[in-house]
Structure 1
Amino acid sequence: MSKKPTRSAVNSSASHVFDALRVVSEASEPMGVSEIARELSLPPSTVYRALITLEESEYIDRFQASSRYELGAMPRLLNRALLKRFALQREAGPALRQLADESGETASVSVRLGWYSLRIAVAYGSHDFYHRDRLGEVSPLHATLPSRTILAALSADDIARYWRFAERHFKPSAAERKAAEGAAAATQRDGFLAEIQQYSPGQSAVGMPLRSVGEVLAALTVHGPVARSGSGLAPASVTAARKALESIIAAAPERFASPFAHLDPDDIYLRLPPNPRGA
Structure 2
Amino acid sequence: MATAIPSGTGRSGASPGVSFQRGLNVLITVAESGEARVEKIAEDVGIPVSTVYRYLRTLRELDLVEERAGTYAPGWRLLELSGQHLTHTRLVELGHAVLQELTDTTGETAVLTVRVGTQAMCLRQTQSAHPIRMAFRINQLLPLYAGAGQRVLLSHAPRTVIDHVLQQPLRSITERTLGRAQLAGEIEQIRKRGFLVTRGELSEGAVAVAMPVVAGGEVLCALTVAGPENRCGPAWRRHARSRLQAAGQRLGEILEHRAAPPTTG
State the TM-score bracket (shorter-chain normalisation): 0.5 to 0.7
Q: Deviations over 1:201-239 (max 9, x none)?
A: 111110235577999886421222377434484346x64
Alignment of 1:91-102 (within 5 A): 91-100=94-103
In the alignment, residue 71 of structure 1 is paired with which amino acid? A
Q: What is aligned with 1:19?
A: 25
Give structure 1 stretches of 5+ with no counterpart: 1-7, 155-161, 260-279
For 1:157-176, list aligned pairs within 5 A.
169=163, 174-176=181-183
Which residue pairs with 2:86 in the alignment? Answer: 84
Q: Work out the CA distance in 1 between the residues paired with 2:67 and 2:120.
A: 28
1:59 aligns with 2:64: yes
- Counterpart of 1:74 in structure 2 is 76
Counterpart residue number, 1:204: 207
Amino acid in structure 2 at the alignment position of 1:49? R
Q: Deviations over 1:230-249 (max 9, x none)?
A: 4484346x644642553465
- Structure ranking higher on relative contact order (CA contacts 8 Å, 6+ apart): 1
Q: Is the 8 A contact 1:99 1:107 kept in 2?
A: no
> Counterparts of 2:216 and 2:198 in 1: how far apart (Å)?
27
For residues 132 and 76 of structure 1, what CA distance do their matches in structure 2 show?
23
Structure 2, unmatched stretches of 5+, are 1-13, 167-179
What letter corresponds to residue 243 of structure 1 in structure 2?
A: A
Contact 2:198 2:209 in 1 (8 A): yes
TM-score normalised according to structure 2 size: 0.55
Q: 1:234 aligns with which of 232, 238, 242?
A: 238
Q: Which amino acid aligns with 2:125?
A: A
Q: What amino acid is aligned across from residue 94 of structure 1 in structure 2?
A: A
Distance 1:27 1:248 in 2: 25
Q: 1:223 aligns with which of 226, 249, 253?
A: 226
State the alpha-carbon separation in 1 of the partners of residues 165 and 66 from structure 2: 34
Residues 97-122 of structure 1: CA deviation (Å, up to 9, x unaligned): 343467352422559xxxx9986852
**Structure 2: which amino acid aligns with 1:107?**
V
CA displacement at 1:169 relative to structure 2: 4.6
Give me the TM-score of the superposition, normalised by structure 1.
0.53
Distance 1:176 1:247, change over 3 A: closer
Deviations along 1:77-109, one digit per CA (max 9) or x if unpaired, are 538942534866643221113434673524225
